[in-house]
Amino acid sequence: MNLFFFFSLLFSSFFNLSVARGGSSSSINSSGVVNGSFAASGRHLFADMKVSLAEQLQLKRLEELAKDYMSNSDLENALMSLNSRCSGISRVYSIGKSVHGVPLWVMEISDKPGKEEAEPAFKYIGNVHGDEPVGRELLILLANWLCDNYMKDPLATLIVDNAHLHILPSMNPDGFSLRRRGNANNIDLNRDFPDQFFHMNDDPGAHQPETKAIMRWLEEIHFTASASLHGGALVANYPWDGTENKKKYYYGCPDDETFKYMASIYSRSHHNMSLSEEFPGGITNGAFWYPIYGGMQDWNYLHAGCFELTLEISDDKWPNASELPTLFEYNKMSMLNLVASLVKTGIHGRIFSSDEGKPLPASIAIKGLNSTIHARETLADYHRLLVPGGKYEVIATMPGYKSRSTSIMLGEEAMTVDFVMDPVITPINSFLQRGWSCSLPGPHLEVFFILVLVLVSVFLCFLLKRRVVLNYPKQRQTKSSPKSVKLFLLLVFIL
């Protein structure tokens, strides 16, 4: 029995290391349901009875390891305590609840937390898979480090003063408690998002609560970039994660060069990720590694314009807790430099109208790239990640306004590119602006005077009808009616 116990642990440990961001294609069906109580089981190597025993041994092993990890309650308490200690640069809020009702707590770190600023926003998400808890621990350590080193360390100060960092330590608290990959409904949350290639997860009502929370989050906050932390490998993964025919090959997205640059920032800042023999430079295209569908990474980029990476930060999915400080040191500069890249590189700007100077939530495109981002509705600020050292033509477009473009040579540092856009002038707008110097914004000018015309027409019709009704009993023909009609026709002609 002792010998069997040894080999069971050996095989369990092996499979625990071998499944990373998506798991093998056979471990998860098309609906995202994880087959078996944990995705990395060696079910084909044992008879049914032995599989059950192996799973029990694996669960027992994880329970022992988890004793030195933070529980969900511990995690909540750690966030609240940190927020109290660093209330000037942090706030804690929830984006929703898990299947079992556990709050999905987020910590925002900024010099003005909770306030809108013309600054880029970045989010880190940990524990997408319940049996990959390293990320949740490292993100708490990261938040503490920023709190302790603000106004002391230049990099910490740069991030806090110039960006809004949002940290979700655990997207899957139920899966963590159950010591398994999927959530409480045994759904792999990294298969639960709408997919660009196949009709899956298209029903909004069918998504898991945790998935819905992420989707709402991106509707509320205009994120520039993001990264989710996983375990089971050591590599920075970038889009696309899937292919049109489900075959494995390199399939880059329109911003492939930018994503490779982002992934390389993380890999090269890491202790040894860039030295990988399996992944050149420590980075990989997801589809080239192995295709997955319904993933969060591609959905972020497609539906929210958020440049997301999938970071595999530990070969061992559930290492001994004594290794966590070392893993944090290995990943600390990578996590910091990735966030700081939003401030240090790329193009940033705001967009205004020329007639009133009001902010415009215009679209920003780069000539030659089939990719568009949008300025924020309120402040009209945009933050576009690009590879330094290139020449780009930046194009701003907005309905009702003339498009504007400018050519830039982007150096190693960030560049500010603001736009002032002129409203499209129609014949009616031109006449009114010349004659009346109306200060209404261009795209709304015609609408305003059409409404005036309608109101005047209704009012005159009411007067005509009233006079006819009053005079009808006396069988009198009104003399003022033609004047009213002439007045109406004159107003129509002028407008």
The residues annotated with a catalytic role in the active site are 312
Locate all alpha helices (DSSP H) within 290-373, ordered by sequence: 296-304, 324-344
Do 284 and 256 form a contact (C-beta atoms < 8 A)? no
Task: Tell me which residue of 122, 106, 108 sits closest to 309, measured CA to CA.
Answer: 122
Tokens of 110: 């900024």
Q: Which residues pair with 110 in a beta bridge?
A: none
Q: What share of the chain is helix, strand, coil (3-state, %, to 5)?
A: 45, 20, 35
Tokens of 9: 């642990």
Residue with tokens 């005159």: 460
The set of residues, in sequence order, having a beta carbon less than 8 Å from that of 137 and lying 6+ positions away, is 69, 70, 321, 324, 328
Residue with tokens 């192995």: 290
Do 267 and 282 form a contact (C-beta atoms < 8 A)? yes
Q: How is 257-305 classified by DSSP, letter by letter?
A: HHHHHHHHHHHHHSSSGGG-SSSGGGEEEHHHH---SS-HHHHHHHHH-
